[in-house]
Chain A
């Protein structure tokens, strides 16, 4: 019998660890998808604007009425001016903060709480599982706007109101995704082995379940960011969010509605920005999902 040496473990021997027959082996370690850098960078820019925006933008609340509704590029205004003569670009930059806060914070909060609830529900059995899911169903049915109105009645309108309302409203769908992904693991042998290992349920949830749930959650959560952006705009429209003259992207659309026929760009530009921002976060979610997909990122 030939003795097996380490040389036999080279990539070409059937004794060696199986290598995908087609590709030559690359350096070990994850391949980071291009998207992570690209969309991560763009998202980073948006967040940065959110942080420093208002300081950089200067005066965005009052404008020179003699410069109303100037077209793009006129009078030194890159994207023109709005109905009150305020520079559109400056308003966009300043408006980034409330928009980003309204979009990112609720998703982060409900992401944490929702996934916790969802995983707990998925791992619970019988009555506990039903209880959690039914409670979630109740919240699911809650119309977000009504909730926002109620909160606004207590706290007054503003970004805080929007954030709280959205956070509550987003918990059930996230929890449901988390629960579905957790349930998917039910029949799998490694879960049985994990329970038989003597580890606490919490450890199993964190160490065994969570890595399997993360990819789907991440994609779903990032897609909710775009939704949240639009929702924040809607809140402002109803007078529940950021009040004029302070800029906020969605609210900018609302304010300039009246100029739709004379200078449509003033209303369209913030809409395009919202669209672009939610696209960026969506794509970032996809890229992160690819990064986490170990089948694709390892050889």
Chain B
């Protein structure tokens, strides 16, 4: 199917030699047509870099290896001209900050029309204008006739993000990549925008790759999740299952540390230390230094993703030791670890 996205062995490195920053170190993911995939991770995990690498948004000085295929077509070897045709038409992108994504000097309508005309979705300005209004309506903007003439600064943050989404879906892309699209928004607006993503998906066979640090958003969207840390995937699987029974200490710790009613104050379970910076290296498992289940072997070789259930993989041999009956759960994250010398 033309919208099947398959990424194999993706690595992205900025710079060279001693200065090289290995932002992504071997990521595999696959999105079926109409599927949803959530890349979950904190800052520095490499999730945004992964998304942008798929779109080949990085210029010289960045090395991307691995294979990215869309509907069977290999994207990494495409000439830039061809890639430009793909961007916006077959792969849409919704970036994090809607204000930065829009040209402050031009009306929303003009920016929408540009996408439609450049990718030849329509053939006349009049048709483009009509389509623009239609798109704004599709993304839930109440008064599309007014908004189409408005400049970005006249709109609220939520409306701007909807406008950006309209631009991203204007050409009915096969895949929509959203990079933390709600981080800059208020929580009630965020809820509405996530609703919008769900609706858009239901009404078309567009697949969605959502990059986020918010576990709740992952839960909302459903589909597959890949938990990223230090440039690698630590755990993958259907979101509901991964959140219910996480099979990697990092995922377990992350979920355990979310504040929720009933947790006694001062006793949030914490992961000591801090997430690694982009490209920060360590020998062995990147999480070893913070992991309560760490063994000596963990410092030697980064564990590979292995199957731990139907459609589930995890990169922790300790939790998923084959000789134990059921995977170990981390009770070892201590509460009240504010005393630790750490981040």
Q: Which residues of A contact B (CB under 8 A)?
A: 1-2, 4, 8-9, 12-15, 18, 21-23
Contact = CB atoms under 8 A, between A and B. Distances in A.
Contact of A12 (B277, B279, B282, B294): B282
A4 B21 contact: no
Contact of B341 (A1, A9, A22): A9
Which of A2, A12, A14, A22 has the most CB atoms of chain B within a 10 A radius of its CB?
A14
Interface in B235-294: 272-277, 279-283, 286, 289-290, 292, 294
A9 B282 CA distance: 13
B19 A15 contact: no
Contacts of A15: 272-274, 289-290, 341-343
A21 B334 CA distance: 29
Contacts of B337: 1
Interface in B3-36: 15, 18-21
Given A9-B341, A15-B273, A21 B292 contact: no
B292 A14 contact: no
Given A1-B292, A4-B272, A13-B273, 9 more contacts: A9-B341, A12-B282, A13-B282, A14-B273, A14-B282, A15-B343, A18-B277, A21-B280, A22-B20
A89 to B, nearest CB: 48
Contacts of B279: 21
Contacts of A23: 18-19
Contacts of A9: 341
By Cβ-Cβ distance, the 5 closest A-B pairs, closest first, are A15-B273, A22-B19, A1-B334, A14-B289, A21-B280
B104 interface: no
A9 B289 CA distance: 10
Contacts of B20: 22
B72 interface: no
Contacts of B289: 8, 13-15
Which of B275, B294, B341 has the most CB atoms of chain A within a 10 A radius of its CB?
B341
Contact of B277 (A1, A2, A4, A21): A21
Contact of B275 (A4, A13, A14, A22): A14
Contacts of B15: 22
Contacts of A22: 15, 18-21
A14 to B, nearest CB: 5
A2 B21 contact: no
A13 B342 CA distance: 11
Contacts of B280: 14, 18, 21
Contacts of A13: 273, 282, 289
A15 B294 CA distance: 14
A3 to B, nearest CB: 9
B332 interface: yes
A144 to B, nearest CB: 38
Nearest to A1: B334
Nearest to B274: A14
A16 to B, nearest CB: 9
A2 B341 CA distance: 12
A14 B290 contact: yes
Nearest to A3: B340
A18 B334 CA distance: 23
B32 to A, nearest CB: 35
B141 to A, nearest CB: 30
A10 to B, nearest CB: 10
19 contacts: A1-B272, A1-B292, A4-B341, A4-B342, A9-B341, A13-B289, A14-B274, A14-B280, A14-B286, A14-B289, A14-B290, A15-B273, A15-B290, A15-B342, A21-B279, A22-B19, A22-B20, A23-B18, A23-B19
Contacts of A2: 292, 294
A8 B282 CA distance: 13
A271 B187 CA distance: 65
A84 B333 CA distance: 90
B240 to A, nearest CB: 29
Contacts of A1: 272, 292, 332-334, 337
Nearest to A9: B341
B19 to A, nearest CB: 5
Contacts of A14: 273-276, 280, 282, 286, 289-290
Contacts of B333: 1
A21 B290 contact: no
A106 to B, nearest CB: 41
A21 B273 contact: no
Nearest to A8: B289
Contacts of B276: 14
Nearest to A15: B273
